[in-house]
Structure formats: structure tokens, C-alpha cells
Amino acid sequence: MNIAATDDAWMARAIALAIREKGDDPANTPIAALVVRQGRLVGAGVNRTAEHCDATAHAEVEALRAAGHEVGDMKIDGATLYTTLQPCGMCTMAAIWAGITRIVYGAGRDQVHKMYFEDRHLSTVDYIRDAFKDDLTLEGGVAAHACARLYYGPHDKVPDEQQANT
Ligand SMILES: [Zn+2]
């Protein structure tokens, strides 16, 4: 499989995981992430912030934790992080600390409500550009429409209590 087909296949698995674990209602924040190294799934996670009362339990962090346990190292060097939604600053930094070399996301920041991000202006791209690492790549828009459908849109009216970033 070429890399685009591989990305599509992993993203389809991430979407399926999100829906299986959290359903497809945006109110339940169905975000999923996978950590894949050398063609093998080494970690997976979904957003568990509400269930765990843990602001850091984003899908990407959950997946990185699972991957760390699986490989027995905090570094998962050379792995790819797939996530259904563009990662926030915290998750981007976590990926950098974990030695991820490629981040692939589905829905982009402009396709979803601002409630999913903590910064007004800084974006995943800015964190990566400013990192000490120079071997990290970022690609967005894989199955973007299918991913974006799981989340509130930019103009949706979202109840205040569901907006974690305010
Ligand atoms: Zn995050």
C-alpha cells in the first residue's frame, strides 16, 4: 500500500474506534487517536476527559500512554500519531516529547468549533515549527469530512457547559 492508502486505512480505524467507544454525537466528544510504528498499532485511545475527570485525557495523550506501556519506553521513536481531529497544543507537545515523527490528522481546526482548541492563534503547525526536532512532519485532511462530522461545526451553537476551553 502506498502511504496515502495506508493513512486512509488507519484513519478509518481511528474513526471506527471513536464511534465504537463514544458514539457519533458531538456532545460525547468522539475523538480517537492511534500510534502506529513500522506498520503495527502500538497504542490507541479516545477522549476520556469527562469519564476520568482529567483535563489531560485527550485521545492523543491516552494513545501515547498506551503506546508507552506497550513498548516499555516513554519514547516511541519513529512512530506516526493518527488522530481524528487536529491535535491541540498539549497533544502536539506530548507527541514531540514521545518522539513521534509524523502526525496525521483528520478534521482541521477551521472545520470545527473553536471549543476544541485552547489558543486563539497558535496552531499545531506553530508548535511543530518551533520544536527543537527537525524530523517531525504534519499532515492534515485525511478523511477530513468523515472526521469533521463527528464534531461541532464552526457555527454550531454549543452549550457553554460543553465548551471546555472557556
Ligand atoms: Zn489535545
- Sign (positive/negative) of CA torsion 47, 53, 56, 62? negative
pTM of the model: 0.94
Query: DSSP string spanning 93-123?
Result: HHHHHTT--EEEEEE-GGGS-GGG-S-SS--
User: Per residue in 92-134, pLDDT tens?
Assistant: 999 999 999 999 999 999 999 998 888 877 888 888 888 888 8
E strands present in the chain: 32-37, 40-46, 80-85, 102-107, 137-139
Between the CA of 72 and the centroid of ligand 1 the distance, in Å, is 23
As annotated, the active-site residues are 60
**What is the tens place of the pLDDT at every residue in 35-59?**
999 999 999 999 999 999 999 999 9
Ligand 1 center from residue 90 Cα (angstroms): 5
For residue 44, the CA-to-ligand 1 centroid distance in Å is 14
